[in-house]
Structure 1
């Protein structure tokens, strides 16, 4: 190949970030491009463009199914996916347009299992909701209301507590935003249930049905509205409900400082015994063994309250308790992922094993504890990250520092124009850890090169052996500054990282360091380019605000692969020949990580529904779960619709 052709090919495959650093235009996988860019706030046109590119590559039914699976993975809560709502609704509508409304309608009944019942209401109320999806959503809501009514009647006859879904809580009410203008969702549901001959009578019956079922749910909101604050069991109040109404539960004014004399009662309604009792009960729940719920929150939803403004002592204690719950939930998801990974290792080793003795030895050698290993979080606090992306970066960085191996714990490296090493080991509360990160400079440019050089400088100064070099997880929008000190114009950040690790390793050990495992985690929508291609070994591409994706870091049988020294020759844009020697460590690629996310057995129910279709683009789609798959993930299965992000039902 001529130098001209090589140069043209190189330049054509690359672009530059908004700050001038070289990056790839694409990962060479439309589906992976879409997955990496699926971040809250993604422009509708950009989403449609990414989806269209993925569809172009989806020539087989299995690839088309992946796009529908991606919509459910984007919505999935409870440790299974990104937990995003609006992006999911947009993806489902795009899938309906591309694959037929009936195909998506066939799996729509599973949406509340991965999210909550209000998803169907939001979908109904969204712009341009396809007719078949709207009709199916109405049908599902009405069917569940009638099923709950029947269950309520049966429970009354049997003198037992009914087992109800939360559909009555989220069913649209008359006069609310979902029942105004052309929507008229309450009216539509009422007439679907009770007929349109007498609209007024149908509306009364619908109102009575929802009210009756909702009162039996005994949700926190029902108790609050009835003034029965002292009956609220705070160990059962769901994460977001507790977060949103914390000031009411604590009986504290929204603004102002709580005086020491008001600590026992709060200052909102200090003379109301029920409100004072609720404050006391919440205080007891915070310090109790059961604790309070925080698993369904995004980390930044806690961190944003710890940044800047003041928190009362009890409010700070609540934040810390919810953070502890969130951390425990993330660790549990990681543990389950590690168990599946270890099972894969044992299954792969079984045919080659000499006997049960060698298998037993391998099983004993597998790690019995679960953490993120020698992982260091690099937290982008540059100006382009202002707002929710920066809150998410700080939150996820702190969480990773708490879940890393003990010898790598409680440290993060923030970076903007200059990197800053933040020691969190002396701080025990989430508020104090956030404020320690806040004290580091932020708001400058995105000098990722300087952050990497800080890591390399420490490795060289300590003369680290290769097995002690840390892996890196980068929470950023990936809009890195153009490199100044090292490398050519079209060398990407990852290529530069590989080369620099090889150079430093050569000086320290006499042999190149392998580039560490690196996870690029995108936190901002509508950005330019990609850090690596789909088949880059030992690199993962993740995105979004959910800590659930950390389980993908510990998933996969090939966590630490073999190393190979590689010499590459490249023709640079100026015509010069550049020879680079580096050590490449095999490990999960971005595409393999995406496959792990979509092939999670928790989504088998969606695949089975698609495989049951006898017409349309999925008529030739076949799927059979692996033998024992459902048993392996029984504890991972989505919660039934009786539970959701906002409320845990407790009728006792």
Structure 2
């Protein structure tokens, strides 16, 4: 009885009137499925989502938190991670203390330095001091050094928080500012940081093929303005394929967003083409009959829409099935979009002609798919196997089904009923949330053939292309209990 009552009281509505669930009924799944889409949420909402999961299972919640921060294999969510970490430094200091050495591997050294303003100051100083001393020794011996020096505050820093960090470090190391500046400069020279070369106007020393991916995008205007001849020669090499560029930690939306936002991008065209071509390929040769369904409704305006379109393009380009170079958008009406153009930039620009509206009518997507299947008399084997629904999940209320028994059915159950009544099984569904406007989820944690994910990173594809039958809970456990997060535990 208790479980049934929980299910009854777990029903809510989307902003557009569709029935959905308040929770997957598993706080860990909620964290995994929503954490990557919480960039616009308040600190209180972030902490509430995390601590509900932490209360359920401390170890798995910490693994999920580090997965969300993981810039290489996870979602790269810095703000969410820091909000939680800063709070835990006060309320769960033992857990944060034991995990300090792992933070730079999954995030950055400034995540550690931010904790200098918490009760864990001494523990942070121990970790940072040890690394600083090792780096000085390695630098003197011509050995590689860590990225600590990149994130240590400069003596000219203006931010109040960073100034406080600097004062704490100088006092702890009993070091004068001039000596600190000299050590920091030496370590940054060892790292061959592009920022150092820019500040010294030493453009000749910049190897554009070895730039960190974020720097290549961030400083493109400076390269074009101050080193035009060399930079344009490099871009020409990118165009011909004789040069590569680092795009390992870029999101697809970082590139697509620049193209959609800009009208005059001629000078950066080959950079955007090259960065896109060099994004990590998380799909490879694996095949599936799948289609990306991208929400372009009014509530997605801005970064969420850029993320959704970018992920849709990323999948459709690498799709080896029938829908290669195609994806579907939906707002008032679905539209099948083809990726067409002489290069990647033109393909993105051509998408501006797509119909982008205000509604979020997912039901019509299924109506169109079923209409095409019936017209062609498709068998189950010929049907789409998988849909990637990339959205904020604020779907319109469905109109299918008039029986009272259907009135409080969730959107997912109604769509599944549509498919079944037409004689087809529901395809596998990936609900990919890119902007959690409220805490709600389309299915429970135990729903088979469904995965609940969130975030901006395509790294999820490496796991999403496997194990079609598993539930959201099983998929989450597969991701966060991987070897990469084996060392992450609560105290």
User: Is the structural similarity TM-score above 0.5?
Assistant: yes
Deviation at 1:472, TM superposition (A): 0.4
Gaps of 5+ in 2: none
2:168 corresponds to 1:171: no
Change (3 A) 1:52 1:151: closer
Structure 1 counterpart of 2:127, from 123, 132, 140:
140
Alpha-carbon distance in structure 1 between the residues aligned to 2:420 and 2:3: 24
Deviation at 1:433, TM superposition (A): 2.4
Deviation at 1:449, TM superposition (A): 0.8
Structure 1 counterpart of 2:396, from 481, 484, 498:
481
Deviation at 1:138, TM superposition (A): 3.1
Alpha-carbon distance in structure 2 between the residues aligned to 1:546 and 1:593: 17
Alpha-carbon distance in structure 1 between the residues aligned to 2:239 and 2:147: 26
Conservation of the 8 A alpha-carbon contact between 2:138 and 2:144: yes
Alpha-carbon distance in structure 1 between the residues aligned to 2:60 and 2:108: 22
Conservation of the 8 A alpha-carbon contact between 2:238 and 2:270: no
The equivalences for 1:155-554 within 5 A come to 155=142, 162-178=143-159, 180=160, 184-193=164-173, 195=174, 202-251=176-225, 275-326=228-279, 329-331=280-282, 334=283, 369-371=285-287, 373-424=288-339, 426-470=340-384, 471-486=386-401, 488-505=406-423, 513-554=424-465
Which residue pairs with 2:119 in the alignment?
A: 131
Change (3 A) 1:152 1:370: same
Change (3 A) 1:167 1:287: farther
Conservation of the 8 A alpha-carbon contact between 1:415 and 1:447: yes
Which residue pairs with 1:85 in the alignment?
A: 78
2:470 corresponds to 1:594: no
Which residue pairs with 2:48 in the alignment?
A: 49
Alpha-carbon distance in structure 1 between the residues aligned to 2:415 and 2:178: 67
Conservation of the 8 A alpha-carbon contact between 1:235 and 1:285: no
Conservation of the 8 A alpha-carbon contact between 2:293 and 2:389: yes
Please give the secondary structure, in 1, of the residue aligned with 2:431. Answer: strand
Please give the secondary structure, in 2, of the residue aligned with 1:250. Answer: helix
Deviation at 1:387, TM superposition (A): 1.0
Alpha-carbon distance in structure 1 between the residues aligned to 2:87 and 2:451: 26
Please give the secondary structure, in 2, of the residue aligned with 1:330. Answer: coil
Structure 2 counterpart of 1:13, from 5, 10, 15:
10
Alpha-carbon distance in structure 2 between the residues aligned to 1:7 and 1:594: 24
Alpha-carbon distance in structure 1 between the residues aligned to 2:458 and 2:46: 23
Alpha-carbon distance in structure 1 between the residues aligned to 2:210 and 2:198: 14
Deviation at 1:416, TM superposition (A): 0.6
TM-score calculated relative to the size of structure 2: 0.93
TM-score calculated relative to the size of structure 1: 0.71
Alpha-carbon distance in structure 2 between the residues aligned to 1:601 and 1:6: 34
Alpha-carbon distance in structure 1 between the residues aligned to 2:231 and 2:273: 19
Which has the higher Rg, Structure 1 or Structure 2? Answer: 1
Deviation at 1:21, TM superposition (A): 0.3
Q: Deviations over 1:122-156 (max 9, x none)?
A: 444xxxx5311x3333332222221111112223x
Conservation of the 8 A alpha-carbon contact between 2:259 and 2:265: no
Conservation of the 8 A alpha-carbon contact between 1:18 and 1:479: yes
Conservation of the 8 A alpha-carbon contact between 2:147 and 2:191: yes
Please give the secondary structure, in 2, of the residue aligned with 1:588. Answer: coil
Conservation of the 8 A alpha-carbon contact between 1:303 and 1:430: no
Q: Deviations over 1:595-645 (max 9, x none)?
A: 0110111112324xx5xxxxxxx4xxxxxxxxxxxxxxxxxxxxxxxxxxx
Q: RMSD value over aligned CA atoms?
A: 2.3
Which residue pairs with 2:139 in the alignment?
A: 152
Alpha-carbon distance in structure 2 between the residues aligned to 1:142 and 1:385: 45
Conservation of the 8 A alpha-carbon contact between 1:37 and 1:526: no
Alpha-carbon distance in structure 1 between the residues aligned to 2:306 and 2:326: 17
Using the TM superposition, name which of 20-29 and 242-251 deviates more.
Answer: 242-251
Q: Deviations over 1:522-569 (max 9, x none)?
A: 1113324210000000000000111111122124xx43xxxxxxxxxx
Deviation at 1:23, TM superposition (A): 0.4
Conservation of the 8 A alpha-carbon contact between 2:238 and 2:271: no
Alpha-carbon distance in structure 2 between the residues aligned to 1:418 and 1:165: 52
Alpha-carbon distance in structure 2 between the residues aligned to 1:123 and 1:324: 38
Alpha-carbon distance in structure 2 between the residues aligned to 1:48 and 1:190: 33
Please give the secondary structure, in 2, of the residue aligned with 1:529. Answer: coil
2:29 corresponds to 1:32: yes
Conservation of the 8 A alpha-carbon contact between 1:141 and 1:171: no
Deviation at 1:208, TM superposition (A): 1.3
Conservation of the 8 A alpha-carbon contact between 1:448 and 1:481: yes
Gaps of 5+ in 1: 156-161, 196-200, 252-268, 336-368, 506-512, 560-586, 611-617, 619-652
Alpha-carbon distance in structure 1 between the residues aligned to 2:480 and 2:41: 21
Deviation at 1:230, TM superposition (A): 2.3
